[in-house]
Structure 1
């Protein structure tokens, strides 16, 4: 037999898409498991034409789910970020968009009991970040509801609203929400660059857009067409990764930990036009942001990054905090990203130095269920 098959489900969650597996269906051998992921996505070439990926970071994702033996938790959820054109399977970090789809998968695959109500709350344990996630999934005919009127910026069609809340989301990768303090500095080719490294949900490095020669309203097409600025941002990301101790040197940061941290440029509210051609007025947002993920410009903004940014806005002294006028008592942050405005729930603990919870709403839809075929290792 030249190929083997593994049961697989494909979900769209928020603005991401991923392959979902039951842990019981995968081999225990890490190398064999990773080969299934790599061939399933098609990571060996940038186009991913030989797999189910879409040639972008937000469609190069895998989720593995299993019933949990933790008290008060329904399922354990592990996320893997795969690369384009390289054999990289990275499990340091998580995906906020696919958390909603993970809740839907748990219901659709009968991993949780449901009642006759209009929704079910699924409790996930994310093994990547050691965090508890509450996912409120709407139901229809005994499965996760797909269609509705809730709109997610970056998607053309609305869907059924799924509410996601992460409890105590700090320090998933490092030992502190701000392991380098509210701000830190590094030497760049054009001088000293100030940055913030925030470790909440997923770690993200922030720089003010203007500090790297960008306007806050620069388009994603302009960013994509400027390899120098992408290189500069990646270099900042890699240096911050070393400074926090995630990687021992720049080479390891670049090649072993390409998925986290991510890096984002932020700026104060301004009028801008989305990639869909909609005018967003500065009064409609609290902050503008664009993200680089896996060396690619994100067409919207990673879901985990949105939650991280909301927390950063509330934490005094960070770069996102400095470019906004949002009080620390705020419970919602409006983030203007390339294709619209995302509203994120967030609250700080009493000490005002850490995050109590952070959350937002997504939609999800099961796309296909069947057997994934991958080449058999010789």
Structure 2
């Protein structure tokens, strides 16, 4: 069997990794694009041994970048979550971690020109998945995205250059409202009733109290993933909330990628997957999230944005467990996740009922650039 090739680049952004394409290099035929994405990652094998994925939701990703036609926007960015052992290409959500890599890619590929004498360049991005504008502050050296630096990011060993990612007016990307249903909603599964919150910021998320599911919320992700009964119950909650929020009409129509779901708990001492002790005084809330049916090794960037906002929105489940904050402007929410602490910037409207902007610092780097070979 012969193969054809297409240029691509592999980037890590935050705790995610993905294959990046310039849109103009892809064929216009939608079925052929689908073939490239599925084979490039290898959606067909659970271990993704025959492609550039590695069998995890945070490395089974594709990004397509193009020059933007919108006023004041440099590039457009479309994200695809690729299936693991399933022929799935899902563009209903987005990836918050890879947003930093989008900025690096735009500079490295010359889509945005950086002055060789400057340390940072501002990149304006339109994310087509959520139809929101991003402002990226990309560190540069000699006109290219800088990699080395002293910024420490939990979930990635070593240090790197600090990328600032801010999303403007991030609420209601999928449902039209930040809080499309009651702030607290009583939802029943076959087992019992739960109080849950549904928050649509960047990606829509369902929140449920960890103790309602019989866990502390500080357990290692590997331990939680082995609890089959827990996974079944969480998926029942997620699926039913997706239908109630109008994102699907039946369980069969519920997307695997969104809404996502997270378990939250009050600040408490716990040990990270690397063996580091996190004190309860160091965090404002503790959480564990699922992506594509499995507990996330760290916490998705989109989830960090969402949870930080939810922690400030009065009456939500995360707000119930989070340390109380004064004011609505320029708050920092410290989220305790399996591999450490993430600090997220949040600004709410003056009445505290919606989100003006949300921001996160990440690191990113280009891993390889070359030709991706696809079987004919």
**TM-score, length of structure 1 as denominator length:** 0.97
Change (3 A) 1:225 1:117: same
Aligned equivalent of 2:68: 68
Q: 2:269·2:279 contact (CA, 8 Å) conserved in 1? A: yes
Q: 1:216·1:270 contact (CA, 8 Å) conserved in 2? A: no
Q: Does 1:309 align with 2:307?
A: yes
Deviation at 1:325, TM superposition (A): 2.6
Higher mean C-alpha deviation, range 186-195 or range 120-129: 186-195
Aligned equivalent of 1:198: 199
Aligned equivalent of 1:283: 281
Change (3 A) 1:57 1:108: same
Aligned equivalent of 1:353: 353
Mapped partners of 2:114, 2:149: distance in 1: 20
Give SS of 2:159's match.
coil
Q: Does 1:265 align with 2:266?
A: no
Mapped partners of 1:4, 1:185: distance in 2: 53
Deviation at 1:38, TM superposition (A): 0.6
Q: 1:149·1:158 contact (CA, 8 Å) conserved in 2? A: yes
Aligned equivalent of 1:292: 290
Q: 1:314·1:328 contact (CA, 8 Å) conserved in 2? A: no
Q: Deviations over 1:144-177 (max 9, x none)?
A: 0011110110111111000000000011111111
Q: 1:315·1:328 contact (CA, 8 Å) conserved in 2? A: no
- Structure 1: runs of 5+ lacking an equivalent: none
Deviation at 1:13, TM superposition (A): 0.4
Mapped partners of 1:114, 1:140: distance in 2: 9
Q: Does 1:233 align with 2:231?
A: no
**TM-score, length of structure 2 as denominator length:** 0.98
Give SS of 1:275's match.
coil
Deviation at 1:217, TM superposition (A): 1.9
Aligned equivalent of 2:181: 180
Change (3 A) 1:354 1:202: same
Q: Does 1:143 align with 2:141?
A: no
Deviation at 1:351, TM superposition (A): 2.4
Q: 2:285·2:323 contact (CA, 8 Å) conserved in 1? A: no
Higher mean C-alpha deviation, range 183-192 or range 346-355: 183-192
Aligned equivalent of 1:89: 89
Q: 2:162·2:362 contact (CA, 8 Å) conserved in 1? A: yes
Q: Does 1:221 align with 2:222?
A: yes
Aligned equivalent of 2:157: 156
| Stretches (4+) displaced over 3 A | none
Deviation at 1:189, TM superposition (A): 3.3
Deviation at 1:191, TM superposition (A): 1.5
- Structure 2: runs of 5+ lacking an equivalent: none
Aligned equivalent of 2:46: 46
Q: 2:196·2:206 contact (CA, 8 Å) conserved in 1? A: yes
Q: Deviations over 1:45-75 (max 9, x none)?
A: 1100010001000000100000001110000
RMSD (Å), alpha carbons: 1.0
Q: Does 1:329 align with 2:330?
A: no
Mapped partners of 1:28, 1:328: distance in 2: 51
Q: Deviations over 1:116-140 (max 9, x none)?
A: 2111010000001110101101111
Higher mean C-alpha deviation, range 63-72 or range 224-233: 224-233
Deviation at 1:35, TM superposition (A): 1.0
Mapped partners of 1:52, 1:21: distance in 2: 14
Q: Deviations over 1:174-202 (max 9, x none)?
A: 11111112121211233211111110011
Q: 2:113·2:143 contact (CA, 8 Å) conserved in 1? A: no
Deviation at 1:328, TM superposition (A): 5.4
